[in-house]
């Protein structure tokens, strides 16, 4: 083995050792944070899908409000029972 190869190997070993020590000390914590972020991402995606569905339903039902001939009040949008029905 040449001196250059031995030098390259010896330089990699401390870096790998530092990574190993870092994993021993912080590994559990990092995995815990990663798991929490995955849960938050999943919940955020689920909430976004629910908001999209609600926006579609609202867009479908808004014309019904205007056709009834009643004066439109924005406060009625969120109190109408049909907004809750699926």
Give 34-52 pLDDT, tens digit per residue: 999 999 999 999 999 999 9
**How many domains does the chain fold into?**
1
Helix, coil or strand: residue 27? helix
Q: Which domain holds residue 39?
A: 3-83
Answer yes or no: are the C-beta atoms of 72 and 66 closer than 8 Å.
yes
Residue pair 50/28 in contact (Cβ under 8 Å)? The answer is no
pLDDT the model gives residue 4:
64
More confident residue, 40 or 78: 40
For residue 12, what pLDDT is reported?
A: 61
Please give the pLDDT value at position 85. Answer: 53
Distance of CA 35 to the CA centre of its chain: 12
pLDDT at residue 84, rounded to an integer: 54
User: What pLDDT is attached to residue 86?
Assistant: 47
Whether pTM > 0.85 for this model: the answer is: no
């Amino acid at each position: 083995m040449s001196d250059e190869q031995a030098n390259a190997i010896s330089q990699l070993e401390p870096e790998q050792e530092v990574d190993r020590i870092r994993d021993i000390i912080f590994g559990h914590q990092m995995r815990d944070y990663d798991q929490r972020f995955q849960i938050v991402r999943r919940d955020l995606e689920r909430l976004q899908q629910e908001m999209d569905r609600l926006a579609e339903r609202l867009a479908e039902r808004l014309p019904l409000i205007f056709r009834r001939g009643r004066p439109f009040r924005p406060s009625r949008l969120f109190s109408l029972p049909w907004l809750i029905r699926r």
